[in-house]
A and B are shown apart, each in its own frame.
Chain A
Amino acid sequence: MNDLTHLLHKIDRYLNGQMNEAEERAFEALRRDNGDVEKEFHEQAAFRSMLQDHADRKAFIQKLHAAEEKITAHSGMRSEKGKNNIFQLSRQAWRMTGIAAAVAVLVATAALWITGGFSNDSGSTYMILRREIDNIKKSQTALMKDFNSSHTRPPADPGSFGGTGFAISSDGYITTNRHVIRNADSVYVQNNKGEAYKANIVYQDPVSDLAVLKVEDSAFMLPALPYTLAARSADIGEDVFTLGFPKDDMVYGKGYISAETGFEGDTCAYQIALTVNPGNSGGPLIDDRGNILGIVSGKQTSANDIAFAIKSHYLKSLIDSIPAMNRKCSILHRSTNSLRLSRVDQIKKLEDYMFLVKVYN
């Protein structure tokens, strides 16, 4: 192999995120010291993105063809009357999409009632799963007073709200629901061993109801993430599980995907048959093979076992939209994970990457 072939492959490996940290550093030093390498690097990066853009645009045009065929094949499209019908229908669908934006905030519930009439709903509402720690804590202290002396977990104050978060990079980026950390003055994340770290909110998106936290301690480091973010959509009937913190210890829950849309037809979420409780918000929804399919975010009040999870590609697009984070979040760059194990072993591996998110306000 000649030098250029070798260099080019190095560049590719770097851009694919396949280098280990030592290699990465050495390569970055090489780029700094050698102008030709740097130039070659930029050319290659630019051409790669041209190839990617071309493939994406091509895929998009194919999607347009498919949608056109599907929608305009509708026989009513040609008559004026039919056209109006479609318009009305789509307006309805439109509002449904709106719900995606609205579920993020509690106010959504009110909005649903106001716009009413578009759903013949049976009185059920969407309930976010953030936990009011104060309430629980009060009843617990009554029971546990005697053990107070052995209570060593920092910080001493239990926090006013709690949810779940999971690591999306080794160096301390953690994702959770935006409603968990809403109006927070300070946020701590605590692992299942009880170790708590102060975290900063680096990003929050009210539309998707997702947020990203970063552990403040720069020395914080986890081993390589064992899971990956699923690129595909989940299928109805697929077995899933979640890990979360409805109490201070991690709790496992198992269920299945029951519908491809969430509350009131929300296309941004899955409906899952899974028992979840306040505190489960922000936990990962994981398939049998250890791919993250979504982020558990709420449940329906009227029924047991109707919960909702935001689809994983909203998390991916959120991460993609923040270039500084994009490269750090190795969860996106991987195509295989290390979780083809029994459930017990899967959970043992996952445990270290799950966090109780404590919010003080």
Chain B
Amino acid sequence: MRKAANKVLVIDDESQIRRFVSAGLELYGYSVSEAENGSAGLNAVAHIRPDLIILDLGLPDMGGVEVLRTIRSWSNVPVIVLSIEVDEEQKVHLLRSGADDYMIKPFGIAELAARCEAALRRYHKAVDKDPVVRTGPLSIDLVNREVTLDRRHITLTRKEYRLLHLLASHLGLVMTHNQLIKDIWGNTSPDNIQYLRTLVRKLRQKLEVDPGQPKLLISESGVGYRLERLAAPSSKNPG
């Protein structure tokens, strides 16, 4: 993985949150800068040119979504949004506005670090061009369209593969129901959620050890699905 320290900018008005996020992410090898409001944050984005931004929604001077849009107007840098209590529609709205993922307070540092890594990987994927996505026992060769589970070949239908491909190319990040439906069926009819649910269920039955307690294909209630990034069964902790 990328050993050069990634620069992370934390924009949050609460010093206690900034403090533990900084200390925690430094443990994971990031170099962290802090900003305590929206305008200072935008300034810092321009000057520091961070590799990743952690943005709190409840800023005193401007709305988090506004900050997010401003950043997106000139940069594709991964942004993870922090918030206390947002409903599912707001989450979907955030993702559509360009957030790479969200974290609802309270959260643990390990979760945040995992999201950061997933977002960074996704961002650098285009550069890396590594065609094989691996998570736990599952590996997906995006170029050769090959899926193996515990090194055994798995046969998927076209739609199942499409779904897995989408989630794998956003490994560890949430994809909204609408993003998935639009990509797989080419429209956003709300009725398609039924087909999506059914498709996910079929895919789980092929990939999961216990489909009743899925470990790979995770549902984010009211928002979407996520292909969880798990350590390979044989190797140690990644990073």
Q: Do A and B come from one complex?
A: no
- Interface residue ranges, A against B (CB under 8 Å): none
- Interface residue ranges, B against A (CB under 8 Å): none
